[in-house]
Amino acid sequence: MEAKQKYEKLKGYLQDLGSVAIAFSSGVDSTFLLKCAHDVLGNKVIAVTARSCSFPKRELDEAAAFCKKEGIAHIICDSEELEIDGFSKNPPNRCYLCKQELFTKIWKVAKEHGIDHVAEGSNMDDNGDYRPGLIAVAELDVKSPLRYAELSKQEIRQLSKEMELPTWNKQSFACLSSRFPYGEEINIPRLTMIDKAEQFLLDMGFGQVRVRYHGKLARIETDADGFSIMLSLNNREKIHCAFKELGFTYITLDLLGYRTGSMNEMLKDDIIEAGKHM
């Protein structure tokens, strides 16, 4: 099935929902989903964005700006992950704990606004990794329209470009809590370190980039363009000085570059497999 056919399938699915609250992070997938839903359902769509310590302010600002431009009702709710029992210890099911709390709150907002469904923006590419958050999605009857339409990330970017969405080539993003190895405590000072480190790299011109936290060591994952930026001795010295000021002692560049779910490489295969099917 071609991307255009999948797009038509998506619109039909959204039409059948009647009304929907979209979990909106301002990323590539949720922006595309929100735009499609609003085009199909108009004012029967609301966007709900969670404000938390693991969600950079730049992303929240972009979410608000997009909804204002498109005339979409936008509700911001507070979702403080660190207050969830066990979350800060960063267990392998951390994402499940977070999504349970998040979608419970979004359902509450939806009901308050007379909305019948809640939807999120996972796509077909998310089926191949360890994604415990999708267990919460299933348990709470949250819809996944992009997966229903069998859309891949590349197809979403392609369609977004044709729709002239500003996010068509935006770097992929995941919450800052995903930068920590499982079992490594997550707290506000550490999240702040990561946020400031990544913002520094973005301001330098990096596109797709992650800063992974390993105690006093920062491991940078980036794409081919980011590798080119790093080749300059002057840039490396700038990064080293900035990261040292943030509290890192050692700064490394991951030779494999950016990849989603790199922290899952540390999990045992049986845990990952269980997470795919739960």
Catalytic residues, which ones?
Answer: 175
- Of the three residues 120, 139, 162, the one that is the final residue of a domain is 162
Instruction: Establish if 169 belongs to a structural domain.
Output: no
- Report yes or no: 165 and 20 within 8 Å, Cβ to Cβ: no
Q: Specify if 268 maps to a domain.
A: no
Q: Domain span at residue 190?
A: 176-259
Residue 213: give its domain's CATH number: 3.30.300
Shared domain check, 220 and 192: yes
Which of 136, 162, 188 is at the close of a domain? Answer: 162
Distance CA 38, CA 40 (A): 5
> Cα(263)–Cα(32) distance, rounded to whole angstroms?
27
Cα distances (Å, whole numbers) of residue 149 to 2, 23, 133, 168: 11, 18, 20, 18
For residue 250, being part of any structural domain is answered with yes
The answer to whether position 270 is within a domain reads no
Q: What is the mean pLDDT of each run of 10 residues along the chain (278 residues)?
A: 94 98 97 98 97 93 97 94 92 93 96 97 83 90 97 97 96 92 95 97 95 97 96 95 98 92 62 44
Quick one: 12 and 82 in the same domain?
A: yes
Q: Number of structural domains, the chain? A: 2
Is position 50 within any domain?
Answer: yes
Query: Are 18 and 99 members of one domain?
Result: yes
Residues 182 and 78 in one domain: no
pLDDT digits (tens, 9 = 90+) for 166-184: 999 999 888 999 999 999 9
Domain check: are 31 and 144 in the same one?
Answer: yes
Domain harbouring 66, CATH code? 3.40.50.620
pLDDT at 157: 97
Q: How many CB atoms lie within 10 A of CB 76?
A: 16
Within a domain: residue 245?
Answer: yes
pLDDT of amino acid 275: 45
The pLDDT, as a whole number, for residue 10 is 98
Chain segment 106-165, per-residue pLDDT in tens:
999 999 999 999 999 999 988 866 678 889 999 999 999 999 999 999 999 999 999 999
Identify whether residues 42 and 124 lie together within a single domain.
yes
Q: Are residues 186 and 210 in the same domain?
A: yes
Domain membership flag for residue 221: yes
pLDDT value, residue 129: 64
153 and 26: one domain? yes
Note whether 33 and 93 are same-domain residues: yes
The verdict on 145 and 215 lying in the same domain is no
Are both 65 and 192 inside the same structural domain? no
Answer yes or no: is 276 within a domain: no
Shared-domain flag, residues 69 and 184: no
Nearest to 148 by CA among 41, 259, 252, 37: 37
φ, ψ (nearest 5 deg) of residue 185: -60, 140
Dig out the tokens for 196 from the structure. 């400031």
